[in-house]
Structure 1
Amino acid sequence: MKILMVSIPTLHFFRWVNQLEDSGHEVYWFDITGMSNSIEKISWVSQKVNWKMRWNYPGRTFLKKKYPGTYQVLKKINEYKTESVFEKYFDCVKPDVVHSFSIQIGSLPILNVMKKHRDVKWIYSSWGSDIFNKKGKENFDSNLRELFLRVNYMFADNKRDFEIAKDYGFKGTSLGIFPGGGGYDLALIEQFSIPLKDRNVILIKGYEGNLGRCNVVLNAIKDLKKELESFKIVVFGAPQKVFEFVKNSELNAWENLKIYGAITHKEVLSLMGSAKIYIGNSISDGMPNTLLEAICSGAFPIQSNPGKVTEEIIKDCFNGRLISNPDNVEQIKELILETLQQNTEQGVNYNLDILSAKLEIKYVSNEIKHIYNQLK
């Protein structure tokens, strides 16, 4: 079977598509950005990349920054239309199945082409806040209704998104709930994990911006200096806003607080494997991938619960804690204090023994292959 994947170039996508290596299917990838070069991580996949620009002329980046108006005019002339390029590639591949990832980036740009080819099966994978968060998305409702009239199948990482899709008219087949980036390599994760009794790290995801609320967590720990003095507190993936918040607060004097910007995935796993507690906080999300990594790593999670997705996997006070209001400093402070006093061993062992088994890469990969095979 010929499967044409449509996605931006991300680690989650590469992990997903690599589950199909040696599956017997012919797999193609249309890089919807048109800006990446061939990706070695998925070298076995036929790739349509680096197609966006007619000419990558000298000074393009400078022009974009200094003269944005002129750049936009030239952009219209210089860039190929996504729909047109995709249609030509579609006609060349002649796929049996098209699988697109995310609504805004990977699905809406190809909708008109897919409407012309209703005999070709179309799978849509929901990512993160894809169909939960409407903010800043033009014609959101009408776009989703139109798209779900055409989509045949759907993957999601949570139950909530299937219900939203049905509200927008999806009458196709739900293919199941799986992590957006496929399964997790538990053997690799174990290499970075130390015994639970030896852990003294409180790990905080540095997600801060339109959706992330890391600074609310940092605001919550400011008054807990005494309670946290025996721990190493680490923030990872922090943007400039987090660094500035710490610099301008009493946290700047904490010797046991370390802030990291962008780090590698292996560095994340190393931190997870040393963490006693993991904290992730945002106002909108699907099933957070870092939450699942924390679960597989043996870190006790304190996680926000937008759209009631996190509660699908976390039972509050047992195998994690749920933040009901991501903007409530006092609530998060109380959750941290309660967790410090709680015996978390039973919940962590449940995560490691029961939940992790369903997230393991070979298990998920076999399930995914079976599902694709049923589409023949």
Structure 2
Amino acid sequence: MKILTVAIPNHHFFQWVNQLEHSGHEVFWFDITDGGPPSSKIPWVTQIKGWKLRWDFPLRSSIKSKLPNLYKKLQERNENDVVNAFAKAYQNIQPDIIHCFEMQLAGIPILSVLQEVEVPLIYSSWGSDIYDFKRLGLTKQEVSNFLKRANYLITDCKRDQTIAQENGFKGKFLGVFPGNGGLDLDPAHIKSTTERNTILIKGYDDGVGKASVVLQALELVDKNYFNTYDIVLYSVDRSVEEQIRNSQRLSDLISKVFARNSFVKNTTLLELMGSSSIHVANSLSDGMPNALLEAMGMGAFPIQSNPGKVTEEVIQDGKNGLLIHNPLDVEEIAGLIEKAITDESLRKNAQDFNTQFILKNYNRSILRPQIIDLYKNVYNHSS
């Protein structure tokens, strides 16, 4: 079977595709952005890259950074059209299945080609892709046209199945799977509740992510609560780094910051989660956050926002975590942090429940055969 995947270069996509290694299928990746060199994370996949530029002219990077207006004009003549590039790739490969990961980035740009062919199309919805499509710049008609073309749907949460059906999807729902194809967690790095001394905070603050509100909440919490804790931020946007620099209180409280544009190995982050007492992540829009699932699986007590009621699919508020009902309410978040710090029994019970829940429902080795069968079933149904 030939499977043609379409996606941006993305860690979760690479992890998903690697579930198909040694499955006996030929897997191709059309890099919809044509960004960077071939990925070393999926060396066994045939990677379709280098399609965008007609000519990679000398000093291109320098012109791009120093003369952006000139670069834009040059690129208007120098870039190949993504529709033509994908159509060519399709004709060369003649795939049995096409799988688009995300609609806005990977599906809509090549919809005109997809509508001309009858090959089964699988669409994987991630994050805010379908939940918040208007903010992402898509019209209801564009979404409806794409969903009507999609034959099969995979989501990372139950919520998005309903949204897809409400917006024109009439095909077969293949199930809820984590965007990365499952978690591979090392129990050796899961510490007991009494050994955990870190509060870990996700640092996205890009208009949707609202780490800045979490930091404002930290400033409201009595500093004595943090006497035995290190506070660590990861995937931190520059605006949050500036917020920390401009606050003496935050500068004193926060032990370490991992910038968003710096590379941190996933294994390193998982180990950090395994020694963290609390994991806090706050956003206005999302699907099922992989970081939340990883934190739960590594035993960190989750405090998480709940856009579109998606997080409550895995968190029972007050039992195995705490839900942020208003991601812009500083006082609410401060109160949740205080509750999590002071209620050790809650954290211990949540850790016992969450580690087993994630092991049962999101274990990578358990999900792998399901994912392989998923493609087989689509192929057999269309043959």
Sort the TM-score into its range (normalised by shorter chain): over 0.9
1:4-15 equivalent positions in 2, closer than 5 A: 4-15=4-15
Is the 2:293–2:358 Cα contact (8 Å) retained in structure 1? no
Matched residue, 1:231: 229
Distance in 1, Cα, partners of 2:246 & 2:227? 20
Give a deviation string over 1:5-57, Cα, whole Å, max 9, x none: 00111111110001011112111111111233222221111111122111121
SS in 2 for 1:367: helix
Matched residue, 1:356: 359
Give a deviation string over 1:52-97, Cα, whole Å, max 9, x none: 1111212223322333332222111111111101101101111110
Higher mean Cα deviation, 24-33 or 246-255? Answer: 246-255
Amino acid at match of 1:71: Y
Give a deviation string over 1:159-193, Cα, whole Å, max 9, x none: 11111111111000111001001111123xx3433
The CA deviation at 1:254 is 1.5
- The answer on 1:157 being equivalent to 2:156 is yes
- The answer on 1:205 being equivalent to 2:206 is no
Matched residue, 2:241: 243
Q: Give structure 1 stretches of 5+ with no counterpart.
A: none
Amino acid at match of 2:358: L
1:51-90 equivalent positions in 2, closer than 5 A: 51-90=51-90
Distance 1:285 1:255, change over 3 A: closer
Q: Give the TM-score normalised by the residue count of structure 1.
A: 0.96
Aligned length: 373
Matched residue, 1:96: 96
Distance in 1, Cα, partners of 2:122 & 2:280? 33
SS in 1 for 2:19: helix
Distance 1:266 1:373, change over 3 A: same
Distance in 2, Cα, partners of 1:130 & 1:217? 24
SS in 1 for 2:149: coil
Identity value in percent = 42
Q: Give structure 2 stretches of 5+ with no counterpart.
A: none
CA RMSD for the aligned pairs?
A: 1.4
Is the 1:297–1:352 Cα contact (8 Å) retained in structure 2? yes
Distance in 1, Cα, partners of 2:20 & 2:81? 29
Amino acid at match of 2:155: A
1:346 to 344, 349, 352: 349
Distance in 1, Cα, partners of 2:108 & 2:287? 19
Is the 1:251–1:257 Cα contact (8 Å) retained in structure 2? no
Is the 1:229–1:256 Cα contact (8 Å) retained in structure 2? no
Give a deviation string over 1:321-367, Cα, whole Å, max 9, x none: 10011110000011111112221212211111123221111111111
The CA deviation at 1:139 is 4.2
Q: Give the TM-score normalised by the residue count of structure 2.
A: 0.94
Matched residue, 2:141: 142
The CA deviation at 1:297 is 0.5
The CA deviation at 1:255 is 5.2
Amino acid at match of 1:316: D
SS in 2 for 1:40: coil
Distance in 1, Cα, partners of 2:11 & 2:204? 17
